[in-house]
Each structure stands twice: as C-alpha cells, then as structure tokens.
Amino acid sequence: MRASEFIGEGKSGKMPSSEAKASGNAFRFRDEGIDRTYNLNRIMMAAAMHDGKDGHPVNMDSSSWAEKYNTAHPYTDEEVNMMNGALKTVGGKSNKVVSDQRSLELPEINKVSPVAKFKGYPFRKTTRKKKG
C-alpha cells in the first residue's frame, strides 16, 4: 500500500471531499508572520470570549506580555548563566522581564490545608484467651 492511498492531504491544497463532508465547517487561516502556535492560541482565546450570536469582534487585548517572543524561565543562578551564554552565542535579542529568581507564592494562595491532619489509627486492645 502506498502512503498516498491512506494520507488524506492532497497535492492540490484542497481538503478531500470525503473529509470535507465529515468535518462540516472548517477554517484555515494564516498567521501573518507570527508564530503559528501563538496565533492559533489567540484565535481560540477570541473564540472562547465570543457570545456566538453574530460575527462581531470581541473586546480583547491585542497581545499578551509575551506576544511574538519565546520565553525561558530559569530557576537557578546556573541556569540564568546558561541562558545568558546561549543568548550571546546565538545572538538572540532578549530583555529580562523578571529579575527576582525566587519562587514565591502569591498572597492569595491558601497555605493552610482544609483537610484535618491524620492522627493515626485508633489503638484497640485485644484480649486473647489462653488455650489450655
């Protein structure tokens, strides 16, 4: 069996009719030079914010804080040095957005467990009758 017999993508760039019938509505869109994964994420965020009643645009921020940038999140000083060295080697342009490397919980985080602490199993004395 040849791969072209079971791969549904044709060379014409069109969806095969059998897949078109099965999939209903399908949208294909370009990312206009932005990372495809990021663009798909933004499209899906906008779709989630939409009420679905008509085709009007939603009120959504135009970009996130990362937008067209990749992000790296080193935890230790060694990893920070590794990132700085890698960026100098490759020539990547970067700006450090967070300079504090400590991992801190937000003040809103509940730090006390709502579950009672396990106190162990209750001790039961058993009396055995001696045989004899």
CA distances from 61 to 55, 65, 101, 116 (A): 18, 10, 28, 43
Query: Which residues, other chains included, contact 97 with Cβ-Cβ below 8 Å and sequence gap of 6+?
Result: 65
Q: How far apart are CA 104 and CA 70, in angstroms?
A: 23
Residue 75 near residue 98, CB atoms below 8 Å: no
Whether 29 shows a pLDDT value over 70: the answer reads no
Q: Provide the token pair at 21.
A: 């019938």
pTM: 0.42
Note the pLDDT of residue 48. Answer: 92
pLDDT band at 112 (very low <50, low <70, confident <90, very high): confident
